[in-house]
Chains A and B, each alone.
Chain A
Amino acid sequence: MNMKSSLIKKLLLSLTFILSFFLGNMAVQAGDYPDRPISVVVAYNPGGATDFQARLVTMMAAHPKKDYLGQPIVIINKPGAGGKVGWNWFASKARNDGYDLAAYNVPHFISQSIVFDDTKYNIDNLEPIANWGADPAVLIVGPDSQFNSVADLLKFAKANPGKVTFSGAGKFVGHHIAFLQFQKASGVKITYVPHTGGVPALAAVKGGQVMAGFNNLSDAYRSQKDIKILAIADLQREETFLPDVPTLKEEGVDVDNSSVNFRGIMAPKGTDPKIIELLAAKVPLMFNDKKTLGQMKKGGSPMRIMNRAEVQAMWKERKKSLTKLLAGLKAE
Chain B
Amino acid sequence: MEFLNYFSNVFTFTNILILTLGTIGGLLMGAAPGLSPTMAVALLIPFTFRMTAEQGLIMLGAVYTATVAGGAISAILLKIPGAPANIATVIDGYPMAKKGRSTEALHYCFISSFIGGVIGILVLIFFTPVLADFALKFGPSHMFWIAILGVTVIASLDSKSIIKGLFSGAIGLWLATIGYDAILGVERFVFNPIFSGGINIIAALVGLFAIPQVLSMLEGKQSQADQFQMEKKSLLESFKYNISRIKALIVGSVTGTIIGLIPGAGGQIAGLVSYAQIKKTSTNKENFGKGEPDGIIAAESANNAMVGPSLVPLLTLGIPGSPTAAVLLGGLLIHGLFPGSNLFTVYAETTWTFINSLLVAQFMMLIFGLYISGLAKYVMKTPTHYMAAAITILAIFGTYSVQHNFADVIVMLFLGTTMFFLSKFGFTAAPIVLGIILGPIAETNFNQAKIIADTQNGIFDYLTSGPLNLTIIALCLISILYGAYGDKAKKEKK
Q: What residues make up the interface of A, taking CB atoms closer than 8 Å to B?
A: 45-48, 51-52, 55-56, 59, 75-82, 84-85, 88-89, 115, 118, 162-165, 170-172, 191-196, 199-200, 202-204, 206-210, 219, 222-223, 225-226, 295, 298-300, 331-332
Contacts and interface: CB of A to CB of B under 8 A. Distances in A.
Interface stretch (B163-171, B328-336, B361-369, B473-481): B328-336
A85 B404 contact: no
Nearest to A161: B455
A332 B319 CA distance: 32
Contacts of A204: 139
Contacts of B330: 46-48, 51-52
A164 B454 CA distance: 11
A207 B404 contact: no
Contacts of A206: 136, 317, 319
A86 B451 CA distance: 29
Nearest to A88: B193
Given A55-B46, A80-B196, A207-B139, A194 B326 contact: no
Contacts of B328: 47
Contacts of B339: 222-223
Contacts of A194: 182-185, 448
Contact of A172 (B43, B139, B185): B185
B403 A78 contact: yes
Contacts of B185: 82, 115, 170-172, 194, 331
- In the complex, the 5 A-B pairs of residues with the closest C-beta atoms, listed nearest first: A80-B197, A298-B336, A46-B42, A171-B185, A81-B180
Contacts of A163: 455-456
Contacts of A193: 448, 451-452
A163 B452 CA distance: 9
Interface string B35-54: 00011011101100100000
Contacts of A48: 330
B100 interface: no
Contacts of B43: 46
10 contacts: A47-B41, A77-B403, A78-B403, A79-B403, A82-B185, A85-B196, A164-B455, A191-B454, A200-B264, A331-B185
B471 interface: no
Contacts of A225: 340-341
Contact of B334 (A162, A202, A299, A332): A299
Nearest to B338: A222
B318 interface: yes
B318 A81 contact: no
Given A46-B327, A47-B329, A193-B448, A76 B404 contact: yes
Given A191-B455, A193-B452, A84 B333 contact: no
